[in-house]
Amino acid sequence: MSDFSVELAAERIQNHRTREYFSEVYQDYVAGSYRSATVMLWSVVVCDLLFKLEEMRDAYHDTTASSILRDLEGRRTGNLSSPEWESHLLDLVSSRTSLLEIGDCETLRNLHAHRHLSAHPVLDQSDTLYSPTREQVRAYMRAALESVLTKPSLLTRKALDAFTDDVCTKAPILPDEGSFCSYLEAKYFNHLTPVVLGQLFRGVWNITFHAPDTQGEENRRSLFRALCLLYEVAGDVCESAVHNEPSYFSEIGVSDTQLGLLSAFLSRHPQTWFVLTDQARAPIRAFLDRNADSYALAWYCDESVELHLQHLVERIREGTQTPSLATFPALHDVAAENGVADIVHQLGILYYGRSGNFNRADDVYSKAVRPFLSEYTLDSFRSLLSTIETNYQTYNRGLARRDHSEIAVAVRERFEHELTLDDYPNFHASLGG
């Protein structure tokens, strides 16, 4: 309890009326009026549930919310003096929406029971009115805040529509992943139950990777970003969703945009690849065969990152595929994480040696060689020097003196006694004396 702040949580209450009502609860709690705080807290929970249902009905035309409100109106008008509809409200929200988890619902039922004990003249054996303890009231306030009051009005199927509309609007103005993730966590992820998060992942996956029309490819890419962030914050939920319905998640579109985004997703979360059926795998493999950059980063389709990089080098040597230099940072990062960065170093050396003109050599060196020089082994430097020695485009270009001086410094600092630069006359001449 000590790590939870009622005051800070209260600032995150979604509805302004609920926020105002809850302030009365907190004032009673601070003043030690625990009976009053308990009675008022239950009323605030009931009001907030009604506010959420009304918002879903009016703003999103949610049929489930409309149905619940009609049911409650019938019960209220049938017996104006009976508060039974309040308990029925809790039952309906629990059974027909995804707002409450089982444990939350039971805690709120206990709050309801203590509300009755606090509101009515129930005397104990000492003829003393019942009064909840300070700890009980604080626990109920926390439960109410976390399970209802601070959550958005995303109760039913319309949660997907509201989420996707918001993502497509906000993603373009939140281009960096940090700010976009903070926004989604604050407004959605931190408030939704695992059930809703799973439904959200299922729905966004379908729109991103299966739906033929998202009213613009920018929207598809925005949804892709949100999907990746959702997996990062609720990986267990998302992974379970795929395992439970592999056929559903294997229903994918076949446009290059969709397959490219799906391949990028699988590169981040390779475990998903092994759950998908051949209905998805076959078009993905065909896409990778004709898209070198996507294949370069598709380590999910091999048993290990090392094996995938070896296959990639084979394809490049055979001339089957030639990924762009833009893939090197990602290739290096994953290779380094798996202890096989030397394969990417060799790949950069291969590219450098195949440079067909000075401009290409300049570009390859700056993007695929220079960034990794500090990691080169003795064998890597030997390979690099031998490669330079046989390609005029590398050792005779205008920037060779500057660039190759960097190599020379690195060799002398680390392998001065093992490697003699004079053994490579073209490289040595490129240093300018």
Kindly tell me if the per-residue pLDDT of 245 is higher than 70.
yes
Residues above pLDDT 90, as percent of the chain: 67
DSSP reduced 3-state for 322: coil
Q: Give the model confidence (pLDDT) of 219-235 as tens digits.
A: 999 999 999 999 999 99
DSSP secondary structure code for residue 215 in this structure: S
Q: Give the model confidence (pLDDT) of 41-79 as tens digits.
A: 999 999 999 998 888 888 667 788 889 999 998 888 776
Could you give the CA distance from residue 338 to residue 348 in angstroms, rounded to a whole number? 18
DSSP secondary structure code for residue 399 in this structure: T
DSSP secondary structure code for residue 337 in this structure: H
Q: What is the pLDDT of residue 29?
A: 95
Q: Give the model confidence (pLDDT) of 257-288 as tens digits.
A: 999 999 999 999 999 999 999 999 999 999 99
Could you give the CA distance from residue 344 to residue 380 in angstroms, rounded to a whole number? 10
When pLDDT is cut at 50, 70 and 90, the band that residue 83 belongs to is confident
Could you give the CA distance from residue 236 to residue 248 in angstroms, rounded to a whole number? 18
Could you give the CA distance from residue 298 to residue 255 in angstroms, rounded to a whole number? 18
Burial readout 287-318 (b: 16 or more C-beta within 10 A, e: otherwise): bbeebbbbbbbbbbbeeebeebbeebeebbee
If one counts every other C-beta atom within 10 angstroms of the C-beta of residue 281, the result is 15
Q: What is the pLDDT of residue 128?
A: 60
Give the pair of three-digit tokens for residue 231: 């997996």
